[in-house]
Amino acid sequence: MEAECVVADDAEELFDASETFKKSALLSSREQYAALYKNSVDDPDGFWSHTASQFFWKSKWEESKAHTENLDVRKGEIRVEWFKGGCTNICYNAVDRHVEAGRGDDVALLWEGNDPGFDMKLTYKELLDRVCQLSNYLLAVGIKKGDTVAIYMPMLLELPIAMLACARIGAVHSVVFAGFSAESLAQRILDCKPKVLLTTSGVKRGPKLIKLKEIVDDALNRCVQEGGHSVDYCLTYDNKLAIKREDTPWKEKRDVWWQDVVPNYPTDCPVEWVDAEDPLFLLYTSGSTGKPKGVLHTTGGYMVYTATTFKHAFDYHDGDVYWCTADCGWITGHSYVTYGPLLNKATVLIFEGVPNYPDAGRCWEIVDKYHVTIFYTAPTAIRALMRSGDEPVKRHSRKSLRVLGSVGEPINPSAWRWYFEVVGDSRCPIADTWWQTETGGFMITPLPGCWPLKPGSATLPFFGVQPAVVDENGKELDGECTGFLCMKASWPGIFRSLYGDHARYETTYFAPFKGFYFSGDGCRRDKDGYYWLTGRVDDVINVSGHRIGTAEVESALVAHPLAAEAAVVGIDHEVKGQGIYAFVTLNEGVEYTADLKSSLISTVRCQIGAFAAPDAIHWAPGLPKTRSGKIMRRILRKIASKQLDDLGDISTLADPGVVAQLIEFTEK
């Protein structure tokens, strides 16, 4: 019996913002965008100098020479500078500037705890006081401009405070996501050698208690043993809601309770004016090899870029309440929890917990509680919530929502549609923002209100962004095409180096296609100039000469009404070169049957074509994901090719237990 063909996606459908939305939007037509875009690429120095002038600069750069760059390895060292010679401070611009403008009583940060009923808020004035006290502490323990400070904290208000306090005194923060293991934390500390580590006793994430300070002690011991590096101080926030002081491991002299010292420092602290090109932070990201890369961002360009992208992609208006579910341990949390929104004087919600605790309605309960107007999350979260059905969403009003956002991976059209129709009541445009740790801010993104959206497409480039789609020989392709996504010119938010390894910066990003920045992603540009990201090119599968993006097949699979999530990898195939091996998670309560396997396969056949039909479906009760929600295909490839004794490091997974489950399911 041929299984039923299920086609739920129609990727070319257009969704335009309502007239009501457009009427109050900052920009509301493609023509308006086109004129600004043209100006931004014809005269980048003029465009960005003008944009940058809304911020406070102690001294200015030379306006006609806002930037210099060399992105071509054949012409020598790769180098990018924006606003060089301009002196500023990002903390001053994100906090003091608003207080000095008389908006000190506006709410800067709202905090919602892991358990419902626990919350707090800070006005801009209160935020400034807290930041200054911590800056003063850091100065008192000897931190100077240019020194690195490591931060390993959960989503407490103190995390963005810590980032801002470093920036205020010109120190370079290196936030490590507080879900990384002791080993990973140690590896990062050994790379950037901070004198001070800021951390927390423990945290509750959902129903689980995580004893962070135990992990920290383990990591710090490893640093001494393996690299001979010790931190002078480990400032520890006492998170009473999670764990008692007496249950927290402690090393006298080195360890200091945050609440015992920081509040004793004065609430004013002079700003350290830094050059636009002075480093602001390091953030480690995984590369194709085991050693994490320390992505280095500098101050001025990053400031201007994150603020401007935030404002336009989310159509930010004064009074908006903004919630991004990302953790500050990732780039999304840096650019779009802390810096971008605060530079715009937004009210930012910080959520300590997880989207489905205590139940699948938590996000919408929070949206209603704080009247959130802009909600920004990842497709993986959307799909997880989708699995619980519409009821937990519909039981909350969500009337306040105006704009939705998506980030982290291509969003499959069926999840897009659910997000749009169910979460946003078909009223809120979705900003599907394509960007990377390396890019600092959004690169390809809808500007809601400017042009119609297509589910699954990140649409068009932001101001100043000049994408090039190139073929395998590095030749730029015209018009409608498919290839590797590169950038032809720099933009203010681009990273300037990999910490301590400028050579790796050049070989990874600039050597593959000479003259371009290479993103590592594949993409298609359609007849309307819209960009469709097809996933990392290392995830492209070549089946019988057909290049198939794993994301395309995944999207087709999850278009099946009973499928919740899918991950596809290539496996060696005698005839076709590569075959398609799909891991599929079904909706809650659905039985894993052989009939369903053939129904899934024919869905892909109908959606993409027979050549894309998976050769194998492997039932997956859960998928191995990093803590930022990215599927670890490396592990799936090993499972698919039955190399079970060679799985590599699985310690960075959010839940290493899923690997054993997957292996157990191999025979089903």
Q: Figure out which of the listed residues 407, 543, 632, 640 binds ligand 6R9, where binding follows CB under 6 A.
A: 407
Beta carbon nearer to ligand 6R9, 437 or 490: 437
Neighbours of 271 (CB within 10 A): 21
Closest alpha carbon to 277 in 90, 5, 133: 90
For residue 405, what are the CA distances in angstroms to 29, 146, 438, 439, 525? 19, 34, 20, 18, 21
Residue whose beta carbon is closest to ligand 6R9 = 437
Burial per residue of 433-443, b for 16 or more beta-carbon CB atoms within 10 angstroms, e otherwise: bbbbbbbbbbb
Q: Site mask, ligand 6R9, residues 527-566, x = CB under 6 A?
A: ------x--x------------------------------
Out of 112, 129, 272, 432, which residue is the one contacting ligand 6R9 (CB under 6 A)? 432
| Choices 55-63, 242-250, 515-523, 542-550 (CB under 6 A): range interacting with ligand 6R9 | 515-523
* Complex with ligand 6R9: residue 267 or 436, whichever CB lies closer: 436
234 binds ligand 6R9 (CB under 6 A): no
In the region spanning residues 259 to 288, those forming contacts with ligand 6R9, defined by CB under 6 A, are 285
State the Cα–Cα distance between residues 650 and 638, nearest whole angstrom.
12
CB-nearer residue toward ligand 6R9: 48 or 177: 177
Q: Determine which residue in the list 520, 549, 570, 579 makes contact with ligand 6R9, applying CB under 6 A.
A: 520
The answer to whether residues 362 and 353 touch, using CB atoms and an 8 Å cutoff, is yes
The window from 101-109, 317-325, 491-499, 518-526 that contacts ligand 6R9 (CB under 6 A) reads 518-526
Q: How many CA atoms lie within 13 A of 52 on its CB side?
A: 35
Smallest gap from Cβ 444 to ligand 6R9, in A, equals: 8
Residues 37 and 47 sit within 8 Å (Cβ to Cβ): no
Q: Which two tokens stand for residue 636?
A: 């799936």
Nearest by Cα to 523 from 504, 505, 539 = 539
Kindly state the tokens that stand for 151: 């931060």
Question: Does residue 123 bind ligand 6R9 (CB under 6 A)?
Answer: no
If the CB atoms of residues 338 and 599 are measured against ligand 6R9, the closer one turns out to be 338
Count residues binding ligand 6R9 (CB under 6 A).
Answer: 21
Among 434, 491, 499, 581, binds ligand 6R9 (CB under 6 A): 434
**Of the listed pieces 81-89, 223-231, 258-266, 402-410, which binds ligand 6R9 according to CB under 6 A?**
402-410
Burial class (CB in 10 A: 0-12, 13-18, 19+), 102: exposed
If the CB atoms of residues 136 and 534 are measured against ligand 6R9, the closer one turns out to be: 534
538 in catalytic set: yes
Instruction: Give the nearer residue to ligand 6R9 in terms of CB position, either 166 or 458.
Output: 458
Residue of 380, 412, 433, 585 that binds ligand 6R9 (CB under 6 A) = 433
Decide whether 353 or 629 has the Cβ nearer to ligand 6R9: 629
Cα–Cα distance measured from residue 231 to residue 378, given in angstroms and rounded to the nearest whole number: 35
- The partner residues of 543 in beta bridges, in order of sequence, read 546, 577
- Distance in angstroms (rounded) separating the CA atoms of residues 175 and 523: 31
Which range binds ligand 6R9 by CB under 6 A, 18-26, 55-63, 427-435, 639-647? Answer: 427-435
Amino acid at 347: T
Is 409 an interacting residue with respect to ligand 6R9 (CB under 6 A)? yes
Window 455-474: residues binding ligand 6R9 (CB under 6 A): 458
Q: Does 356 bind ligand 6R9 (CB under 6 A)?
A: no
φ/ψ of residue 65, rounded to 5 = -130, 60
Residue among 184, 299, 332, 652 that touches ligand 6R9 (CB under 6 A): 332
What's the start-to-end Cα distance of the chain, in Å? 21
**Contact, 345 vs 98, CB < 8 A?**
yes
Based on CB atoms, which residue is closest to ligand 6R9, 519 or 602? 519
- Torsion, CA 647, CA 652, CA 655, CA 657, rounded to 10: 30
Q: Identify the CA nearest to 467 among candidates 435, 495, 444.
A: 444
Element (H, E) at 582: strand 577-586
Cβ atoms of 621 and 658 closer than 8 Å: yes
Closest CB 458 distance from ligand 6R9, rounded Å: 5
* Residue 331 in contact with ligand 6R9, rule: CB under 6 A: yes
Catalytic residue among 538, 572, 595, 655: 538
Interface positions, 613-632, toward ligand 6R9 (CB under 6 A): 628
Q: Which parts of 2-61 interact with ligand 6R9 (CB under 6 A)?
A: none
583 bridge partner residues: 567, 618
CB of residue 154 to ligand 6R9, shortest distance in Å: 19
| Owner of token pair 């596809």 | 568
Pull the structure tokens for residue 289.
Answer: 């090899």
The residues carrying an active-site annotation are 538
Chain residues binding ligand 6R9 by CB under 6 A are: 285, 331-332, 406-410, 432-437, 458, 519-521, 533, 536, 628
